[in-house]
């Protein structure tokens, strides 16, 4: 058996600039971190070598790869010509919650299958392959930040260049300030999940308009400001930048926010939060807030939503178990 774990990500600023119809014209950038919540994927040969068994939120037992219902499983297993295996996928966080679950799964699956085939693939290459699967082959209206955030791990400034290439710079901070930043971040579950594709499809279309493009350019500027502040070990402006980015993001497409999300955000801001945002494409999932420790109890009581305890992680996608058969 082989087991991998791949982290979910939290995007702080610049989301949306990783879409091709924006970065090919202007270049894009995102500041994000991976967190200690993971997608785990295990694989081993199936008892009946003529069949493949997949276990995720559903179970699928198929005779041919083409019979698989799960689009990512079907695409990747077909591309890599892997059959006669049993693959199980479990996760700390449900899908549709704004933490990049689909791309995290894709990166993890590619890592698992390459390891199963005896191949080492770099994290940058895994991210690029995941983008190829999700964006080019499956035609999902998404960007590239989730794949790179999950594959690379850590707190990074990720650049999406006009030629389609991607580069990244780890954010270097004093250890004490890094820990304080984590302690000042709170995440709450809104109680709803959503498919990002509808919102992202509208956002992709809207980016071609001049005013929406200006919003994204401002969001990229905020991501650069956040990078400069963190590298100067200054987190005093972090909440303000989060808030400014969120106000700009809400204008990119309808459905990003809704009355319930707006109400929860307002309550948090009145009870100690210095800024925040809804993670992911919008419509549901997790709200993230920057709030200094002495005011966090007040905020938690006032907002009344389920909190997700989390911290940053630095490993990215990794193999955590390889059975003796594969070592030999």
Q: What is the CA radius of gyration of the chain?
A: 20
pLDDT for the residue 328: 45
- Map out the domains of the chain with their CATH numbers: 2-172+313-322 (3.30.230.10), 175-308 (3.30.70.890)
Place of tokens 């807030």: 289
pLDDT for the residue 281: 62
Farthest CA pair distance, the chain: 60
pLDDT 10s digits, 36-63: 999 999 999 999 999 999 999 999 999 9
Question: What gap in Å lies between CA 214 and CA 220, rounded to an integer?
Answer: 10
Residue 137 corresponds to which tokens in the numbers above? 């082959």
- C-beta separation of 287 from 269 below 8 A: no
Burial degree of 151 (CB within 10 A; 0-12, 13-18, 19+): buried
Q: State the DSSP string of 65-107.
A: GGG--SHHHHHHHHHHT--SEEEEEEESS-SSSSS-HHHHHHH
Q: Is the dihedral of CA 103, 106, 111, 114 positive or negative?
A: negative
Among residues of the chain, what percentage have pLDDT more than 70? 92
Whether pLDDT at 197 is above 70: no
Q: How confident is the model at residue 209 (pLDDT cuts 50, 70, 90)?
A: low
**100-112 average pLDDT score:** 96
Give 12's contacts (C-beta < 8 A, 6+ positions apart): 31, 32, 33, 223, 226, 241, 242, 245, 277
Question: What gap in Å lies between CA 133 and CA 150, rounded to an integer?
Answer: 15
Whether pLDDT at 270 is above 90: yes
pLDDT 10s digits, 241-264: 999 999 999 887 767 888 999 999
pLDDT for the residue 202: 53
**151-171 average pLDDT score:** 98
Q: Three-state DSSP class for 45?
A: strand
Among residues of the chain, what percentage have pLDDT more than 90? 84
Residue 30 corresponds to which tokens in the numbers above? 């995102």
Cα–Cα distances (Å) from 13 to 136, 138, 192, 196, 240, in that order, read 25, 26, 22, 18, 11
Q: Three-state DSSP class for 192?
A: coil
Place of tokens 């709200």: 287
């Amino acid at each position: 058996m082989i087991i991998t774990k791949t982290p979910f990500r939290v995007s702080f600023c610049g989301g949306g600039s990783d879409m091709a119809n924006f970065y090919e014209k202007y270049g894009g950038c995102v500041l994000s971190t991976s967190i200690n919540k993971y997608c785990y994927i295990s694989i081993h040969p199936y008892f009946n070598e003529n069949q493949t068994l997949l276990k995720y939120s559903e179970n699928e037992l198929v005779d041919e790869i083409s019979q698989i219902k799960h689009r990512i499983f079907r695409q990747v297993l077909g591309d890599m010509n892997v059959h006669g295996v049993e693959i199980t996928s479990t996760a700390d966080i449900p899908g549709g919650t704004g933490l990049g679950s689909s791309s995290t799964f894709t990166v993890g699956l590619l890592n698992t299958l390459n390891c199963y085939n005896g191949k080492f693939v770099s994290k940058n290459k895994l991210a690029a392959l995941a983008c190829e699967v999700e964006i080019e082959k499956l035609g999902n209206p998404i960007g590239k930040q989730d794949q790179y955030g999950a594959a690379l791990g850590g707190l990074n400034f990720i650049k999406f260049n006009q030629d389609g290439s991607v580069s990244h710079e780890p954010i270097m901070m004093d250890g004490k300030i890094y820990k304080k930043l984590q302690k000042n971040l709170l995440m709450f579950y809104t109680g709803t999940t959503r498919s990002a594709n509808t919102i992202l499809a509208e956002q992709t279309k809207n980016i071609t308009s001049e005013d929406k493009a200006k919003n994204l350019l401002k969001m990229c500027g905020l991501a650069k400001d956040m990078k400069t502040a963190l590298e100067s070990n200054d987190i005093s402006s972090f909440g303000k930048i989060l808030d400014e980015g969120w106000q700009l993001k809400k204008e990119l497409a309808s459905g990003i926010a809704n009355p319930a999300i707006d109400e929860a955000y307002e309550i948090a801001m009145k009870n100690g939060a210095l800024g925040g945002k809804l993670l992911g494409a919008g419509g549901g999932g997790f709200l993230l807030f920057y709030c200094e420790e002495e005011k966090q109890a007040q905020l938690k009581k006032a907002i009344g939503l389920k909190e997700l305890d989390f911290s940053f992680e630095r490993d990215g996608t990794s193999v955590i178990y390889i059975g003796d058969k594969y070592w030999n």
